[in-house]
Amino acid sequence: MPWLVLATLGLVAAWLLVIRTPGDIGFAAVPIALIIWPVVFIAYAGVAIWFGFRRRPRRAVSVAVAMAAPIVFWGAIGWVVDVAHLGLALAWQRPHIEASRAQPGPFVVDDWSIGFAGGASTFLVYDKSGSVAKPRSGQVRTPDNDILNDCAGAEHLVGHYYVCTID
């Protein structure tokens, strides 16, 4: 049942994309996910146990693998979701991003947070020089990049785009 593994990975990726969407949609999706995913996990475990009792070990293992696949591939799913989020942001915000690139300064920074008070803030950073990915000691500290002085680390997405989280 490899289709079950692929369907589970696709559902997790789609839900993660919704959760990471800034604004009200992402804000509302988090509590819903906290309710839905434990129920889905219990259902998968129940189906795996049921197949085990029915002496269908291959199907039981397939369901167990489908249940564990999102955990194993969490990093890859997160990267794919961030790249999809970047593609959507570029499609909808292209005039804003193009205008920001024309301004002088080494960086263009856009807010990628979903709005939880007191939590970490996430920013999309466009940096042609690549200095965002350097360790803090290698970054040039200027008033233009105050936001990056506090950056806990920048994850490279594609091209000159990085995701920076500030605690």
Of 19, 6, 8, the C-alpha closest to 43 is 8
Domain extents in the chain? 2-72, 93-166
Residues forming beta bridges with residue 166, ordered by sequence position: 121
| pTM for the full predicted model | 0.68
Token output for 63 = 């369901």
pLDDT, one tens digit per residue, over 36-74 is: 888 988 888 898 898 888 888 888 888 888 888 888 988
Token output for 165 = 């989280």
pLDDT, one tens digit per residue, over 119-154 is: 567 777 777 776 776 665 555 555 555 666 666 567
For residues 112, 91, 157 and 17, what is the CA-based torsion angle, rounded to 10 degrees? Answer: 60
Q: Give the pLDDT confidence score for residue 147 in this predicted structure.
A: 61
Confidence of residue 104 (pLDDT cuts 50, 70, 90): low
Average pLDDT for 4-15: 85
